[in-house]
Each structure stands twice: as C-alpha cells, then as structure tokens.
Structure 1
C-alpha cells in the first residue's frame, strides 16, 4: 500500500511541525489509510499545536455540493478552532487568517486536471506564506489518473482564471507536491516550501493501484472513473450540453434534448478513439442543466485507461454534440468561474484558438496537431520537478 505524505509526516517528519503553531488546508479527502481525518490527527497529537483550519472550494468538510458555491468562515464544532473559507470573500489566506500560524500544511487530493481549483488554492496559500515569512508544507498524494501521460494544450496566460492560473497542460501528470515545486520553480510562487513525498507510489499507478481509500475530493467526482474522464468531459461545462451533473455518474454521462443517442454513439464509436466505447442513453437530470427534462446522449465506458486519451475524447464528444444540433448547441455565455468577459469554453481550454478551429470545421487531428509543440515543451519542463 502507498503511504501518503500525511502518513509519512506523522511517522517520520513530525519535526516539521514540532514547537510550531500549525494551520491546515483540508477537505474530506484529507484522511489516512484508516480514514482518520488530518484535523483530528493533528489536533490529538501531543507534539502538535493545531490553531487554524482552512478549506478550499466545497468546504473544509465538504459542505457545499454544487459548483461555484461560496461558503463562509465558521468555528469547528469538534475542535472549537476557526475554519476560514478560501472560496468565499477571499481566495488567498489573509494576514488575519494566518495570525496564529507559523507553518501552514496543505493536504488535499487533486484529480490531475488543470481545471481543478484546489491546486490554485495551494498556490495562493504558498504566495501568502511567502509574503508573511511562514513555512508551507505540502503532504503529497497520488495523481489518481497516473503520472505518465500529459495531454492537451498549455494555458495561454491571457486566459488565466481560477480554473487555470499557470501554464499547465490540461492533463499535467503531476502530483500536488510536484505542482507546488513547479509553481515555485516556474511560476514565481515563492515561499519556504517543504514537500513530504509519498512512499511506494509509482507514476504508472492509477488510484486503485495504491490500495488507499477513495474519498470524493469534490461532490461531482464521486468515483475514480469520473476522475479518469474529467480532463476531457469537463469541456461540456462550457456548453449547453449536460455533463452529467444531476445523475449518479457525472462526467461519464452526458446529453442534450436534440440528440439522437444511437446516431451519436455510432458516430463516436466509428472514430475508434483509443481505449473507450460509447453507449447510447436517455436520462432526466435531477438538477443542473436540463433539470427535469428527458435528454439523449452517451455513457462513456473506458476500456483501457493506459491508451485512453480523456482530453481528445472530450473534444471529439463536444464536436459531435455540436454537429448533431447546429441550431441548438451553444457555447455557454459568461460570467462563469468569476470571468466576466471571455467565453467559459475558452477559459477551460486555456485559449480561444481551439473553439475557433471547431467553428471553422477543422478535424480533430488538425486541432490536436496545433498543441503538440507546446505540450512537448511542457513535458520537458515538468521533468525538473518530478519526485518519483
């Protein structure tokens, strides 16, 4: 079994926190192999003085279930400690939040896609600690979709947002600890950084290979399967197609009212995209897009994770939905993710070029060729920050 940075910290690196006032950024995924939460573990530890709790999007205890729902500070009913929101009035820890902290610990499960906001909460917290002269400790966790493959375009800084602050590929293939090192070394996020690596993790592992318990890091990533497809299927958030929110299989299921599921599945399966097959479905979302309406679409079944390319598959699916409903398909209008001018699809893609290429009728292969050079450059750059 893999040992996470949390377990390594408590068994081998407790010196990092001894005689320090400790703050922690956590969410429901911040547990050890026995499902004990980091807040409880640090609070009960005789050599650690836990003073402050902070939480990212969806809350320190996973309170907010839908996307883009801000939450407010409160006092933890178990420990009595203050819990500060980093997805409310502030995205970055303020001096007031850090006034009782010497060392801030980050222990949150990522999902391996550039859009996921937790790593930008980490980056802004690193920046705040650098400004206040505090230590920042990242407890590393597995990239649940592996650390070998990288895929998709690299963010154009003109399109930076809270779903993409720095020039990463959409599937970046890095752990949170490696991302912290990348942000420090490549993106100017300076602080006194310490990463506690895992033990036993290898880059070709998917999450089940670790034998660790899967805790949904956010409400709509309930399973490892949803994390596997998320780097591509998240693109549907930038359209009026349902990405499966309001179902039991978000991001694996998708659909819209104008779709003939059999025609769509046949078209996609004829493309012979690697490692995947599409099954025609109908469903009625219980919330979010097309709530209460019968819609048609596909359920994506990943047959071979190692050959599967989630971003290219998600792009192909988006293009197919657009082709099936030229009068009905729409790009979602801003605002979204606190961006008020640019189209949400461009924010997700990290550029405006790919949407324009889709609108001009370019093929998937032509569009993919357009990001290969920047992806290869990112792949070379990331090598310097790998821990495993």
Structure 2
C-alpha cells in the first residue's frame, strides 16, 4: 500500500467534548445535570501531558465556564460511581463542588416537579453499555418523562455503546416490564443512548404520551462497528472491556443464585456456585466482599465454574453458560430466582426453555421474529452507520 493510500482513522469524539455544540444552549440558564463518574470531557494531548488524569468531569468543566448548575441528579451507583448494585443512593452534597445531589435511585427514580422547579434545562450524560437491564436507560426514560411533564428542555450528550455491534436476546414482554426493562426491546439493542432517547420520544414510550423537548448532541467519527474501550468503569462491577462485552450473557446470572464474579477481581468474566458439580470444573474461586460488592452471592463459599476472561470478543448473546450451570447443578431448584430471572430475561419463557432442555440454537430461533421487527423500528432512529 502506498503512503498516499494509508487510511488514517479519525479519533472518536464524544458529545461532551463538543462543547461549542451545547454550550450556547446552557448560557444564562439554570441547569440540572444527570451524571455520574463517566460524565467526563477528555483533555487534549497537550493538556494530558501535564496531568496524570486524561479527563475532567463535565460538571467541573461547566462550572469553570460559569454555567449555572443548580443541582446534580445521580443514577444507580451514585454520582461518583461507588455504590453497590441495587443499593439505594442517598441525597446529599457533592464534596468537591458543593452542589446538591439528588438521588434517582432512592426515594424516587424520577425527578419530581419540586426537584425540577428551579431548572431551565436538563443535561443528561451517562455512559451506557447497551444492555436492557443496565438501569441507566430506565433513568433516561424517567428523566425524559419528568422533563416532558414540566416542559423543560432535555439535552442528551451521546457516548459510544461498546455493545452496539449486534442486536440479540429475548425481547421484553409488556407483562414483565420493570426498572430492569421499561420498554419492549431486545436484551441487546444496538443503539447509543442518544439514538435510544430519540426512539423513546418518537415511539411515545413516555407514560404521559407527551414528547420531551429533546436535543441529542451526536458523536463524531463513530460507527456501530467501532470498538471502543471505556476509560472509566461505568459501574463498580464492570471493570474492563471483557466484562462489558460478556455482561449481556453473564448478566442473566443476576436473576439466579449463581455468582457471576462479584466479590472477585474478574467480575462478569467468570461464573460459579458451591452447588455446581465440582467434578465438571477445573476452575474454582471464593467470592469475598470488595469494592462494589459488600455481600456477593456465595460469599465465602468455594464456587465451581468457568473462567471466561480470555474469551474472544462476543457478537451475540450466549446462553451456553446459564445452560451449563443449570445442567451441572447438584440441586436444580437452587439455580433460578424465578422473579429475578424473568425481570432480567424479560420473559418467563427463557427459564422454561432452559429447564425443559431445549438447545441454545432452538431457544435463539424463538427470538428471531421479534428481533426482525425491532430492527425495522430501530432504523428510523440511527444517527450513525
């Protein structure tokens, strides 16, 4: 290849770094920010060379630009991202900025009229991982609903979805919607959070049927096939690219009594339980309390299972590991937490299919009609190739 033919890939630019695109929308306004530890602006190479941390928090940047931020709303895991999964997030004050912190994972998951009464515009910027039961998209939907009801404009700063390269999994059934899945979309939906916000709005999934006054600031130089390594863990138990890539498949264990690596250093890169047949596995580990998991499943017990930390990049949801754990359980009644598994799967059928011994290929075939329908709807809202 000649030098002139060399293709130079342009760096991906997240919306938060496109300050000139959204700063005019914030000037002279009272701003509420929905964010967490992933709400960051990357420093330029020259700035980066002067500091050990290559990014600055969006809130800190906006305050330095004299934007009038009134309060910050925090999702699951909190504003600084250190709260365990499922653990309530408390209201408070951010120690660094002195800004009031309003929890959207405590007394209420939707901003109240009272909490929004002094806000002119809401800015949403949270890193998603593209899995339906990852609760940040539920927070987005409830924020959109609150903004629509109070006639407050909402700006969504888009970020790459590291699992945007495929669409797969069972589709949420209306009867089983919850905070782990508020809309009838597949387990892996292949959209950025900005694209998904547009879908929520235009498909009228906001409960009041009103539309939000929505502005999405898009990414630059990104496609759905782009591999993207997250610079900050999006939640305490997704510490690496591998864990994020395996999360759609291993996250199904959240609705079981099988440990999926919480309480280890390879969260969502392994699975195991004390009640799995030890003769079938060469890998074993003992979960213990650690950052992000104060009381992991099977705490202090020797778990027998599989280490998946060397698995190549996944392009589909795999059921092989949940099926393996069920087949090799010494007490099959211990595996599923029926209510929890149904909420994660979005359907009662998946547990029934696994328990009846259906092979993975047959189960996945049962998803295809719904996936085809979703893909047609999804096309209308894509911002990127």
In 2: Cα distance, 1:258 partner to 1:13 partner: 53
In 2: Cα distance, 1:136 partner to 1:157 partner: 27
Question: Equivalent residue for 2:77?
Answer: 58
User: Does structure 2 conserve the Cα–Cα contact (< 8 Å) formed by 1:3 and 1:199?
Assistant: yes
1:33-112 alignment runs, 5 A limit: 33-34=42-43, 35-46=55-66, 48-64=67-83, 66-112=84-130
SS in 1 for 2:42: coil
In 1: Cα distance, 2:366 partner to 2:354 partner: 12
1:161-310 alignment runs, 5 A limit: 161-189=178-206, 190-208=211-229, 214-260=231-277, 263-264=280-281, 280-287=282-289, 288-301=296-309, 303-305=311-313, 308-310=314-316
Question: Equivalent residue for 1:346?
Answer: 342
In 2: Cα distance, 1:216 partner to 1:310 partner: 22
Deviation at 1:18, TM superposition (A): 1.4
Deviation at 1:359, TM superposition (A): 1.6
User: Does structure 1 conserve the Cα–Cα contact (< 8 Å) formed by 2:171 and 2:187?
Assistant: yes
User: Does structure 1 conserve the Cα–Cα contact (< 8 Å) formed by 2:199 and 2:378?
Assistant: yes
Q: Which whole-Å deviations, capped at 9, do the CAs of 1:304-343 have from their partners, x for residues lacking one?
A: 42xx3452x2x2211111111252552444xxxxxxxx61
User: Does structure 1 conserve the Cα–Cα contact (< 8 Å) formed by 2:183 and 2:205?
Assistant: no
In 2: Cα distance, 1:70 partner to 1:259 partner: 31
Q: Which runs of 5+ in 2 are unaligned?
A: 1-10, 44-54, 290-295
Deviation at 1:182, TM superposition (A): 0.9
In 1: Cα distance, 2:22 partner to 2:103 partner: 28
Q: Which whole-Å deviations, capped at 9, do the CAs of 1:110-160 have from their partners, x for residues lacking one?
A: 011001001111110010000001000000000012x23101111101100
Deviation at 1:23, TM superposition (A): 0.7
In 2: Cα distance, 1:378 partner to 1:114 partner: 13
Deviation at 1:254, TM superposition (A): 0.7
User: Does structure 1 conserve the Cα–Cα contact (< 8 Å) formed by 2:34 and 2:73?
Assistant: yes
Deviation at 1:79, TM superposition (A): 2.4
User: Does structure 1 conserve the Cα–Cα contact (< 8 Å) formed by 2:277 and 2:329?
Assistant: no
Is the alpha carbon distance of 1:343 and 1:17 closer, same or farther for their aligned partners in structure 2, counting shifts above 3 Å? same
Deviation at 1:179, TM superposition (A): 0.8
Task: Tell which deviates more after alignment, 55-64 or 123-132.
Answer: 55-64
In 1: Cα distance, 2:280 partner to 2:136 partner: 38
Q: Which whole-Å deviations, capped at 9, do the CAs of 1:215-258 have from their partners, x for residues lacking one?
A: 01110011111110000101111111111100001111111123
Q: Which runs of 5+ in 1 are unaligned?
A: 265-279, 334-341
Question: Equivalent residue for 2:167?
Answer: 150
SS in 2 for 1:149: coil
In 2: Cα distance, 1:302 partner to 1:259 partner: 22
- CA root-mean-square deviation: 1.6
Matching residue within 19, 34, 55 for 2:28: 19
1:350-361 alignment runs, 5 A limit: 350-361=346-357
In 2: Cα distance, 1:63 partner to 1:203 partner: 29
Aligned residues: 353
Q: Which whole-Å deviations, capped at 9, do the CAs of 1:250-289 have from their partners, x for residues lacking one?
A: 111111123356735xxxxxxxxxxxxxxx4111100311
Matching residue within 5, 16, 24 for 1:6: 16
Matching residue within 136, 145, 166 for 1:127: 145
SS in 2 for 1:58: coil
In 2: Cα distance, 1:171 partner to 1:262 partner: 34
In 2: Cα distance, 1:253 partner to 1:187 partner: 39
In 2: Cα distance, 1:232 partner to 1:217 partner: 17
Structure 1 stretches of at least 4 aligned residues deviating more than 4 Å after TM superposition = none
SS in 1 for 2:124: strand
In 2: Cα distance, 1:195 partner to 1:328 partner: 47
